[in-house]
Amino acid sequence: MAFALSIMKLHLQYRLLISEMNADINVLRILEDYIKEIFSTKTELETAKNIEYFKNNFTGFRKDIDELRETMHLKKMRLLVLSKEKKRLDYKTFKLDHHNEVLQKFKVYRKKFDKMKKEFIRFVEKRS
């Protein structure tokens, strides 16, 4: 079976994923604003524990986003160089550059982020 993957297609995929994570950073900022609002009006111990839990999650997600974006940016730039040099992205290069692993990390990140966001929305709805 022949391995055929467009360098530009993968490059553009990385660009889209990076853009998605940039939007997630804005979502995290909004969620942090929610936390400030909730904490200013509700100070029960249970609420404070939940707020601390979410703040820690937000910090962890921001770290994950920064690391993943940096990795993807470097991969994206390497792909651009390959493209300009008119080189092909063969299976060996694809594997050596660990594209599968990076894309899989993004899938795991996306699932966790979406789950946390839903969890946070339920928390906010209970407090309203």
> How many domains in the chain?
1
CB neighbour list of residue 14: distance below 8 Å, 6 or more residues apart: 72, 73, 75, 76, 79
Question: What's the pTM?
Answer: 0.85
Question: Would 95 be classed as within a structural domain?
Answer: yes
Is residue 94 a part of any domain in this protein? Answer: yes
Residue 114 domain-assigned (yes or no): yes
**18: CB partners within 8 A, 6+ apart:** 69, 72, 73, 76
CA 55 to each of CA 23, 61, 101, 125: distance values in angstroms, whole numbers, following the listed order: 18, 10, 28, 17
In a domain, 49, yes or no: yes
DSSP H helices, the chain, are 7-41, 45-84, 91-96, 99-127
Look-up: residue for tokens 């940096």?
Answer: 70
Q: Is residue 82 part of a domain?
A: yes
Per-residue pLDDT at 118:
97
Would you say residue 1 lies in a domain?
A: no
Retrieve residue 76's tokens.
Answer: 């994206």
Structural domain includes residue 48? yes
- Ranges under pLDDT 50 in the chain: 1-4
Q: pLDDT value at position 90?
A: 66
Is 2 within the bounds of a domain? no
C-alpha atoms less than 13 angstroms from C-alpha of 27 in its C-beta half-sphere = 18
Domain that holds residue 82: 7-127
Q: What is the pLDDT of residue 5?
A: 63
d(CA 20, CA 5): 22
- For residue 63, the model assigns a pLDDT of 98
C-alpha torsion angle, residues 59, 63, 65, 66 (rounded to 10): 130
